[in-house]
A and B are shown apart, each in its own frame.
Chain A
Amino acid sequence: MAPIAAPDMIVPGIDDVIADAQHHGVDSAGEHSMVLNMGPQHPSTHGVLRLVLEIDGESVVSLAPDIGYLHTGIEKTCEAKFYQQVVPLTDRIDYLCPMTNNLAYCLAVEKLLEIEIPERAQVLRVLLNELTRIQSHLVWLGTHAMDIGALTVFLYCFREREEILRIFEALSGQRMMTSYFRVGGIALEPPLGFAEWVQRFLNDMPDKIQEYENLLTANPIWMGRIKGVGYLSKEDVIALGVTGPPARASGIDWDLRRDMPYSGYEKFKFAVPISTDGDVWARYVVRMLEMRESVKICQQALDVFTSMPVTRLTADAPKIVLPDREQMKTQMESLIHHFKIVTEGFAVPAGEVYVGIESPRGEMGYYVVSDGTAKPYRVHMRNPSFATLQALETMCKGRLLADVVAVIGSIDIVLGEIDR
């Protein structure tokens, strides 16, 4: 295969990188470069990502990601399930933010059905989504710092993450794969003591964030490893489809929660932190500030939620939402609805919708096509890491090999959602 000089913005393929290296190897100038295979089982790749790197000494000449190791065909599986059966599948796409996936999918199907869910359920969804964001950012911070060599932060972060997972377990019975949202509302009423528990957590959290910052922010080793590394310009962000914190760290003032609000986000007051530095450090700063903003949103949502009278958390749509257990055992109508939903699902009017929401990693979009039956005709997920991975080459080119690890950490990659 002839060596291909890849245009600047286009991510080269694996063959191109190898051919390029071989071409350079026989260069009359005596330049010598080699191909390095990183992963798929490399601790810094957070899953199974394989990178084929062409390196000259210690600097990266070109790089090609090889993905698909976790491909389980979730999109295909969705087509064989009823609409309500897809919810547990969405958890498994991005295992660090199950609630965000649930929300995006449920919003898409609710848009197809054109049903409104009660405000109390919307507020609870926002609260849980922001807790998920904090939880996901904690995993990012812990593993990112660990990749760079600061192991302590990892243990601190997982202490608080554990608390959030316990809250999720109390809510849904599951720590990670919560499947707590339903098409048309929320599965269960939160348990007694839920609000107090979240309040205790929110009271502690700002101090804990300060604790992580004391360990990292002014640490000269930390700053030396991430300042000026992995630069991504504003133009490249748009060209390469980068969203979320990496985009905001490059000066793109865009947050779907504020700019195209969903699930009642327009009622909450929060700032969207942005930076113009565009490096790994800026992404760190943006995410740390985002965590503080999330705590604020959680507090507002919790206040609203506790002040509301206790009402049903599901829409008034008996043919779509499962009835209460009590009603099902006492009313014939409810029993029939229950039986029909479980055995036949519910028909969704034909049409196609796209719903994009702000996941901790960027824009998470669900494109759902219905042909009027009880099973989705097509479900496609637009996953933020998938697009952001295309920018990896631009960020790493010409930099040191050790910086690749810092850059991968900074884009907060989750391979489950890339491969689906």
Chain B
Amino acid sequence: MGGTPTPLPVPTPGATAESPGPHPGPEPGPSGTGQREYPKEAIYGKDAVFAAIPWNKAVTALGELVTDAKWDRQELTVTVAKENIIASCQAVQAAGYNFFEDMTAVDWYPQEPRIQLSYHIVSYGLKERIRLAVRLDSTDLTVDSITSVWPASNFYEREVFDLFGVNFSGHPGLTRIMMPPDWKGNPLRKDYPVEGYR
């Protein structure tokens, strides 16, 4: 392996981008109306959030699908009805939120609706992230799978099925992923003891 060292070929010329770039921030609203800055303080409720950031792409895309919204700690959470999850994902995908990052659940036992599903979706173009939330009653823990929109959600839905016992209709192979196939119970539920059953 002697001889002159061969420099590593730089893949695509001009393809590397220099940092830093200041955060471009939200795009200007139409015809200079309204304010483009994100508010510093938390805002709760659909109407208040819609009034504060009407130019937000996710807000405009989802529109009537939204049942509740929250702007907290510089993060936008949008709650949608469980029947509308596929439609909501398609709407935000069309609005530029192109990358499915993460999906998980939170068990609010003993409150109802018990299970909250949180989908984190990021836009590579807008450099923004949104959280879609779905609330499920413990009487009906079934929701549509979004693998048809983002196949990446496959493993995440299997994980939630395994650890929380939520059923995803339309999922191509809903089996346990972390626990053994013959395991009883859903370990991440709040009524499952931390030490397990012995």
Interface residues of A (CB under 8 A from B): 4, 6-7, 9-13, 15-16, 67-68, 71, 73, 75-77, 79-80, 111-112, 114, 210, 213-215, 217-219, 238-241, 251-254, 257-261, 265-277, 282, 285-286, 288-289, 351-354, 356, 363, 365, 367, 369, 377-378, 380, 382, 386-387, 389-390, 419-420
B interface secondary structure, majority = loop
Contact A380 B104 (CB under 8 A): yes
**Distance A241 CA – B5 CA, assembled complex (angstroms):** 37
Q: Which listed residue, B20, B102, B147, B151, touches A354 by the CB 8 Å rule?
A: B102
In the complex, which of the residues B1, B18, B187 contacts A215, with contact meaning CB atoms closer than 8 Å?
A: B1
**Is B75 among interface residues, defined by CB-CB distance under 8 A?**
yes
B32 lies within 8 A of chain A by Cβ? no
Known A214-B1, A214-B6: A254·B101 in contact at CB below 8 Å: no
Contact between A268 and B15, CB atoms less than 8 A apart? no
Closest chain-A Cβ to B6's Cβ sits at a distance in Å of 4
A77 and B194 form a contact (CB under 8 A): yes
Contact A367 B104 (CB under 8 A): yes
* Supplied contacts A10-B154, A274-B12, A352-B72, 14 more A-B pairs, CB within 8 Å: A6-B173, A12-B172, A67-B177, A76-B194, A79-B194, A213-B7, A241-B153, A251-B15, A260-B127, A272-B16, A276-B12, A285-B8, A288-B8, A386-B155
A210 touches B5 (CB 8 A): yes
Question: Within the assembled complex, what's the spacing in Å between the Cα atoms of A389 and B152?
Answer: 10
Interface residue ranges of B4-40 to A (CB < 8 Å): 5-12, 15-23
Chain A nearest CB from B144 CB (Å) reads 15
Interface residues of B (CB under 8 A from A): 1, 5-12, 15-23, 72-73, 75, 77, 98-102, 104, 106-107, 118, 120, 122, 124, 127, 129, 131, 147, 150-155, 163, 172-173, 175-180, 187-188, 192, 194
Nearest neighbor of B19 in chain A, beta-carbon distance = A258
- Which residue of chain B lies nearest to A387 when distances are taken between CB atoms in the complex? B152
Instruction: Establish whether residues A213 and B5, one from each chain, have CB atoms under 8 Å apart when the complex forms.
Output: yes
Nearest chain A CB to B73 CB, angstrom units:
6
Across the interface, A68 reaches (CB within 8 A) one of B17, B19, B178, namely B178
Q: How far is the CA of A390 from the CA of B179 in the complex (A)?
A: 18
> 19 A-B contacts, Cβ less than 8 Å apart?
A6-B173, A12-B172, A73-B187, A114-B73, A213-B6, A217-B8, A241-B100, A261-B23, A265-B19, A275-B11, A285-B8, A288-B8, A289-B10, A354-B75, A354-B102, A354-B129, A365-B120, A378-B106, A419-B178
Report the tally of A-B residue pairs with Cβ distances under 8 A.
178
Residue of B nearest to A292 (CB): B8
- Partner among A9, A71, A269 whose Cβ is within 8 Å of the Cβ of B179: A71
Report the 6 A-B pairs with minimum CB-CB distance, sorted nearest first. Answer: A241-B152, A275-B11, A382-B102, A13-B173, A218-B6, A9-B151
Q: Are A266 and B22 also in contact (CB < 8 A) when A214-B6, A254-B124 are?
A: yes
CB distance from A109 to the nearest CB of B (A): 12
Candidates B106, B151, B173; contact of A240 at CB < 8 Å: B151
Which residues of B are found within 8 Å of A354, using beta-carbon distances? 75, 102, 118, 120, 129, 131
* Pick from A10, A217, A389: contact of B151, CB under 8 Å: A10
Task: State whether A367 touches B102 (Cβ < 8 A).
Answer: yes
Q: Given A269-B20, A275-B11, A354-B129, do A390 and B154 touch, yes or no (CB 8 Å)?
A: yes
Contacts of B72 in A (CB 8 A): 351-352
Contact A68 B180 (CB under 8 A): yes
Residues of A within 8 A of B163 (CB): 75
Closest to A366 in B: B102
* B contact residues around A210 at 8 Å (CB): 5
Output the least CB separation between B133 and chain A (Å).
9
B20→A271 contact, CB < 8 A: no
Q: Is the CB of A241 within 8 A of B19?
A: no
A419–B163 CA distance with the chains assembled, in angstroms: 12
Which residues of the partner chain B approach A7 to less than 8 Å between Cβ atoms?
A: 172
Alpha-carbon separation in the docked complex, A12 to B172 (Å): 8
Pick the contact of B16: A16, A217, A274 (CB < 8 A).
A274
Question: What's the least CB distance linking B116 to chain A, in Å?
Answer: 9
Contacts of A218 in B (CB 8 A): 6
Residues of A within 8 A of B151 (CB): 9-10, 239-240, 390
Which of these, B118, B153, B187, contacts A367 with CB under 8 Å? B118
Measured between beta carbons, the chain A residues less than 8 angstroms from B1 are 214-215, 219
Flag if B11 contacts A276 (CB, 8 Å). Answer: yes
Q: How far apart are A41's CB and chain B's nearest CB, in angstroms?
A: 17
